[in-house]
Amino acid sequence: MSKQKLSGEPMANVFLLAFAIFCLAIALSIAWVLGITLFFPDGILAGYLVERADIIRAHIDYLMMAQFLFIFFLLFRQYAIVPPVWVVAACCFGAFFNPLSFLLRGLAAKPNATALPVEPHFPIQAGISFTLTTVGFLTATILVARAAWRSRADYP
């Protein structure tokens, strides 16, 4: 076991790590549900999965979001970057809510053909989530790229 401690780590970065672990736990939970329902398609649990493809999309999206959060945690730590709280909040908000839309779609009954194709609040919710995710991850990328560019002077 590593003797490194997170006690000197900036709280925003520790929160990023904790949220990455949370997203990974959700992805693994979804994987278990998918596995159980694959082998027991007539079980009670399988009855809740309306659209399996959307559940798989949510699983993959949570895995990807966890991966991004872990990577940014490690990059921020490597380059001693203290990320602004708003960047961490934007990344974490998007990492949770973007995949959640797939999960909810996979668990909800499909509307009939005469109903509106999109829930009235969905475009606003999706727009906010997608925007925060894009701004958060893009800003994190810029912070890391800038730190990497500056650190090149340290090496001949």
Q: Give the ranges where the chain is alpha helix by DSSP (H).
A: 11-39, 52-78, 85-107, 122-151
pLDDT for the residue numbered 123: 75
Q: Is the pLDDT of residue 4 over 60?
A: no
| Residue 32: pLDDT band with limits 50, 70, 90 | very high
Give Cα 100 distance to the centre of its chain. 9
Sign of the alpha-carbon torsion through 110, 116, 121, 123: positive
Q: What per-residue confidence (pLDDT) applies to 124? A: 80
Q: What is the pLDDT of residue 92?
A: 97
87-106 in b/e burial notation, b at 16+ Cβ within 10 A? Answer: bbbbbbbbbbbbbbbbbebb
Q: Are 92 and 130 in contact (CB under 8 A)?
A: no
Q: What is the reported pTM?
A: 0.85
